[in-house]
Structure 1
């Protein structure tokens, strides 16, 4: 894998290089947010390891710019010293795909990075335009638009949306969504909830009705009209 590490702690960076490079991975690194953003704009990476607390431009702001201004869907693993639900939601809302709480195991970090890269590389299977109401998703270019406006999602958000659009208006079980996103590498119980929250913020927040609906105790569905009106 080609990995971009954006981390200002030199000991953590040294440990990452010492552990990952002998395994054949290629690393670039930046010690501040603006340097990391510049590298992300200039190069293509399989995954990004991103610290939340960075000088100049913090990890949340950087991730937002990565998804919004740069239109990059590169998977992002966010490193954080905080593990509350609010912190996880903030990370996923900014565009992160996974998170790891410091201090962390280097073995676990590599496993998570491989899983992110594997899911990212498995998404292209020809040009297909999915349409549900005023929402469109070109699965070849990964361009999502609602009412003509281009939306920025995380890699995991694209995966969830693709499944829900293909099955719309049917209800997709929580287990089916988790299987599509993580396979057998299931994360903790909060992860799907925060990814659904981030997806809902992206595709529904500015619009007159919510397309993404939660069916309590069952799963999720995507609708093309306001069922409440």
Structure 2
């Protein structure tokens, strides 16, 4: 899980990071918090990197959080959840942030437990939106068209176009997490740093070359080819993008 924090005040930035590390840490999921003190620095990072959540301070040097939010929603068409932080708590400013596409708004000084509860809610909402609601799905399963991910069995099941018995594809834990990250962001570029983080396990760092090898195997194992209505492409300077092929009807994911 990757969270970007935009906050120019050093004390507040440390406070946010400490709260997230203490309250959000889960043994089964690693959290990476990337901090920025300038809006332009975060905007440059957003062109190359992938995050699960953005915490944006309203007023920062060179590019305010609200202006960055407008750019993200209007020009990038990026729906990454955004929680706005601000010392301003007027009804007008809160309404402005929500109208511009913020998912939530917290007035500073904030309470750590409340901030983290709101963060968890936004992350859960994002996860719920990416999961299919097929009748055969369980809480440990996520379906994306013909591809069914079973987190309990650590297995990917691929439905047959002819309606025959689905093909069960065995993947490693690392491959499973990488593939699921690509499907959860289908249609959007996923950065190499994000995929490397998904592929890392218990402090082990995955090399960039190893990442490319895993992606090559996933393309073959899961049949991520245009003939199957889906394409896994390299995005130069950024990472990879999984997308439905236009000549096919994209299967519903919700």
| Cross-structure match for 2:32 | 26
Alignment counterpart, residue 57 of structure 2, candidates 32, 51, 56: 51
Alignment counterpart, residue 79 of structure 1, candidates 76, 85, 99: 85
| Shift in alpha-carbon separation, 1:112–1:42, aligned structure 2, 3 A | same
Distance 2:49 2:41 in 1: 12
Confirm or deny: 8 A CA contact 1:64 1:94 kept in the other structure: yes
Aligned 1:1-229 pairs, distance under 5 A: 1-22=1-22, 23=25, 24-124=30-130, 125=132, 126=144
Distance 2:59 2:73 in 1: 18
Confirm or deny: 8 A CA contact 2:19 2:116 kept in the other structure: no
Q: CA deviation at 1:40?
A: 2.1
Distance 1:81 1:18 in 2: 19
Confirm or deny: 8 A CA contact 1:92 1:98 kept in the other structure: yes
Unaligned runs of 5+ in 1: 128-139, 144-229
Unaligned runs of 5+ in 2: 133-143, 146-184, 189-254
RMSD over equivalenced CA pairs, Å: 2.1
Distance 1:86 1:53 in 2: 16
| Cross-structure match for 1:203 | none
* 3-state secondary structure, aligned to 2:60: coil
Larger radius of gyration: 2
* 3-state secondary structure, aligned to 2:35: strand
Work out the number of aligned pairs and report it.
131
4+ long deviations beyond 4 Å: 140-143
Confirm or deny: 8 A CA contact 1:61 1:94 kept in the other structure: no
| Cross-structure match for 1:215 | none
Distance 2:102 2:47 in 1: 17
Q: CA deviation at 1:41?
A: 2.2
